[in-house]
A and B are shown apart, each in its own frame.
Chain A
């Protein structure tokens, strides 16, 4: 992106100081969210989220797989994010790779919790088909950044949430008589599907610290002025599912606690907004099909 002149930088910082940002938002206001679901017919679930000029697509693909031997009653989820060169010329070639890995690992941290799946936003045991059998569902979550104007992590988080609520998992019949140490035969139904339970999937709220204040949903211009950013993923119950920090400058512990309580407050509004948007998008999607 292009740089900013000293005057513009001061203007942005002053706006954040005075609680009136360049596009007229308050410090803790999101941009209008535009959401579509079911945009990729081949995927089990997909969604597109636009936050201002930021535009991301998330898709979920469900496949049968083998569970990890240490956690036999849990499914697997992998998250991969790709930054398209259409979003920014610097993403061309290998340019976007660093950001892609950063985003994917941040999303993994925010959504998947620990290695065992404890504290995960996505309930891994719901991906188990039959307890103790060597078969489970694998979720492949792919994110694509089509256009970037800051706050990609929140947008991706919202897109993944929408894509998961759009996801259907086929009903399966497992033949019961197979020996337990072998992969059982699985009969996948083409007609009957189960809705994926998304009540526990958190939203991600990124608080970007500029000067002495922090803001939500920063644009690229505002992100260029940031000292550090804390991303908190919070579920419907107001519990924290994950936490990541970006940016070089350190944060005082009280500031972290402060951001968390602010994020919790913001996440309630965002969660409600997203739920209504997802419901509207699903209704619109069904009407078309």
Chain B
């Protein structure tokens, strides 16, 4: 495994390699002829009228791939879908971003794309929930909604004529994310699904798998309508708290309860393990790994040890080989 460096002992190494052999043998069957590496020929069967798409180039009357990936054909268009690439937004994607700038009438967000995304003040629900024109006062109060460095969840609205990417947050479920941690994983490990917001009831946590490879794991918050008072209240309290450092009983109450925090950390570590191993990340697998670690009675930080990586790899190999046997 390239890029993966763990201190494995001999037995672990053997088991690890065996698990990956199983995984490889499973994947290569499905589309071995369609996958190409750079400079591979793409067979076009001497058709004249083909359209050369992304990741292809013509050299000496042959069509060659310029990317590693899978050849896809749509009628006459031939293109290569890369295996590993930067996030490319599609309309309707649910993404997580970080505010880098508060500009006139808009926020600029870092979303792991080649350019920054824009969230207009007009394309988000105002915290008081009233539909109206945005006034100059609203514009002045933008920082009370989102500040620099805030983590925000939003939806991709589309590309504007000038090529910049616009987002929207027209629902109470979108908005600022607090009390939790943000993880960054390769975006190709998150597949587009119907549901990206997950409330894991048994753990009391929220899990948001952003299509751009940002994953939020945090304390569960009920979606409420009276957000604005709550919001300013909280940030005020937090500011006060950071000043009078510690010891107070009140401060203790403000923090995430230890049980919830344990679950947050456990889930976050499950995601870390899965993404290092390069496995697709879905809620089912995450909960499975969390349960596995719990049943093995592992401490949260022991999930990042070498032994657990091997077990997860074996588990995944087992899981993937099962459905094929049933068929």
In the bound complex, how far is the Cα of B272 from the Cα of A2, in angstroms? 19
The CA of A55 and the CA of B262, in the complex, are separated in Å by: 28
- B149 within 8 A of partner (CB): yes
- Judged by a CB distance under 8 angstroms, whether A280 is at the interface is yes
| Inter-subunit contact B266/A24 (CB<8 Å) | yes
Interface 1/0 per residue, B245-271 and A, CB below 8 Å: 111000010111010011001101100
Interface size on A, residues (CB 8 A): 34
- Asked whether A24 and B5 contact (CB < 8 A) given A11-B181, A11-B256, A212-B245, the answer is no
On whether the beta carbons of B238 and A10 are closer than 8 Å, the reply is yes
Chain B interface residues (CB < 8 Å from chain A): 5-7, 98, 100, 110, 147-151, 176-182, 218, 235, 238-239, 241-242, 245-247, 252, 254-256, 258, 261-262, 265-266, 268-269, 272, 299-301, 303-306
User: Would you call A34 and B181 a contact (CB within 8 A)?
Assistant: no
A11 and B180 within 8 A (CB): yes
CA distance A5 to B268 in the complex (A): 18
The answer on a CB contact under 8 Å between B235 and A24 is: no
Interface residues of A (CB under 8 A from B): 2-15, 17-18, 20-26, 29, 31-35, 50, 211-212, 277, 280
B7, B176, B272: the one within 8 Å of A34 (CB):
B7
Most chain B beta-carbon contacts within 10 A, residue among A14, A24, A31, A33: A24
**A17/B269 in contact, CB under 8 A:** no
Dominant secondary structure at the B interface: mixed
Contact A23 B272 (CB under 8 A): yes
**Which chain B residues lie closer than 8 Å to A11 at the CB level?**
179-181, 218, 256
Contact partner, B304, options A2, A15, A23, Cβ 8 Å = A23
CB-nearest residue of chain B to A22: B181
Chain B, Cβ-Cβ closest to A33: B7
Q: Are B256 and A14 in contact (CB under 8 A)?
A: yes
Set A2, A32, A211, A277: member contacting B246, Cβ < 8 A: A211
Using A7-B177, A11-B181, A18-B255 as known contacts, say yes or no to A2 and B98 having CB atoms under 8 A apart.
yes
What are the 10 closest A-B residue pairs judged by CB atoms, nearest first? A24-B300, A7-B178, A14-B255, A3-B149, A212-B246, A24-B265, A24-B301, A25-B301, A5-B150, A5-B149
Docked CA distance A230–B272 (Å): 29
Assembled-state Cα–Cα distance A10/B237 (Å) = 11
Are A32 and B7 in contact, with the CB atoms below 8 A? yes
Contact (Cβ within 8 A) B6 A34 = yes
Residue pair A32, B305 in contact (C-beta under 8 Å):
yes
Contact B7 A35 (CB under 8 A): yes
Contact indicator B272/A7 (Cβ below 8 Å): no
